[in-house]
Amino acid sequence: MTTTACHGSGAPVEPTPGLVRIALVGSPNAGKTSVYNQLTGMRARTGNYPGVTVTRSVGTGRYKPDDGSPTVQFSIEDLPGAYSLHPISPDEQIVADVLQGKIAGIEPPDALAVVVDVTVLERSMSLVAQVLAIGKPTMVILTMTDELSARGGHIDIAAFSAALGVPAVGVVASRGRGFGAVRELMAAPQNWPTVPVAPPRDDDEFNAWITSVLDAAKYRVPEPDARSAKIDKLLLHPIFGTLIFFVVMFLFFQVIFTVAAPLQDLVETGIGWLGTQAGDAISNVTHNAMLSGLVANGIIGGVGAVLVFIPQIVLMFLLIAIMENVGYMSRAAFLVDRIMALTGLEGRAFVAMLSSVACAVPGIMATRTMPSSRDRIATSMAAPLMTCSARLPVYILLIGLLVDPASRVGPFSMQGTAMFGMYVLGGVSAMLAAWVFKSRVLGGELLPFYMEMPPYRFPAVKSVLFTLWDSTRAFLRRAGTIILATSIVLWFLLNLPTRTGEIAGMSEEDAASYVLDHSFGASLGRLLQPIFDPLGFDWRIVVGLIGAMAAREVFVSTMAQIFAADAEDPSAALQAATWPGGEHLFTAGTTVALLIFFAYALLCMSTVATIRRETNSWRWPIVAWSYMMVLAWVAAFVARHIALALTG
Whether residue 116 lies inside any domain: the answer is yes
For residue 72, the cross-strand partners are 63
Query: What is the Cα gyration radius of the chain?
Result: 27
Provide the domain limits for residue 202.
Answer: 21-223
Closest CA to 56 of 30, 21, 18, 84: 21
Please state whether the predicted TM-score (pTM) of the whole model is above 0.95. Answer: no
For residue 177, the cross-strand partners are 172
140 band by pLDDT with thresholds 50, 70 and 90 = very high
> Any residues with CB less than 8 A from the CB of 67 and at least 6 apart, and which?
none
- CA 141 vs CA 34, 179, 193, 573, 574: distances in Å: 12, 10, 15, 58, 57
**Last residue of some domain: 188, 223, 258?**
223
Phi, psi (rounded to 5 degrees) for 634: -65, -45
Closest CA to 147 of 121, 171, 125, 119: 119
Whether residue 435 lies inside any domain: the answer is no
Percent of the chain with pLDDT over 90: 40
Whether residue 242 lies inside any domain: the answer is no
CA atoms within 13 A on the CB side of 133: 14
Task: Answer whether 524's CB lies under 8 Å from 546's CB.
Answer: yes
What CA–CA distance (Å, rounded) separates 607 from 53?
12
Q: How many C-beta atoms lie closer than 10 Å to residue 531's C-beta?
A: 12
Q: How many C-beta atoms lie closer than 10 Å to residue 443's C-beta?
A: 11
Taking 60 as the threshold, does the pLDDT of residue 553 lie above it? yes
Tens of pLDDT, residue by residue over 272-306, are: 899 889 989 998 999 888 899 889 888 998 888 88
Tens of pLDDT, residue by residue over 398-429, are: 999 999 888 888 888 899 999 999 999 999 99
Whether residue 523 lies inside any domain: the answer is yes
Whether residue 320 lies inside any domain: the answer is no
Pick the more confident residue, 508 or 382: 382
Taking 90 as the threshold, does the pLDDT of residue 532 lie above it? yes
519 band by pLDDT with thresholds 50, 70 and 90 = very high
> Any residues with CB less than 8 A from the CB of 415 and at least 6 apart, and which?
257, 399, 400, 403, 405, 407
The whole-number pLDDT of residue 449 equals 58
Whether residue 92 lies inside any domain: the answer is yes
Task: Locate the DSSP E strands across 80-137.
Answer: 111-117
CATH code (residue 118): 3.40.50.300
Tens of pLDDT, residue by residue over 323-360, are: 888 888 888 878 877 777 777 776 677 777 877 887 88
Tens of pLDDT, residue by residue over 78-110, are: 888 888 898 887 778 889 988 988 887 788 999
Give me the helices (H) in 20-120, please. 32-40, 90-99
How many domains, in total, are found in the chain? 2
Pairing of strands 21-26, 111-117: parallel
Phi, psi (rounded to 5 degrees) for 5: -70, 155
Phi, psi (rounded to 5 degrees) for 54: -75, 125
What CA–CA distance (Å, rounded) separates 429 from 227?
36
Whether residue 607 lies inside any domain: the answer is yes
Closest CA to 554 of 298, 363, 359: 298
Tens of pLDDT, residue by residue over 154-163, are: 999 999 999 9
Taking 90 as the threshold, does the pLDDT of residue 66 lie above it? no
Whether residue 110 lies inside any domain: the answer is yes
**Last residue of some domain: 188, 205, 223?**
223
Residues present in the chain in total: 648
**Last residue of some domain: 171, 205, 223?**
223
Taking 70 as the threshold, does the pLDDT of residue 376 lie above it? yes
User: Residue 273: what residue type?
Assistant: W
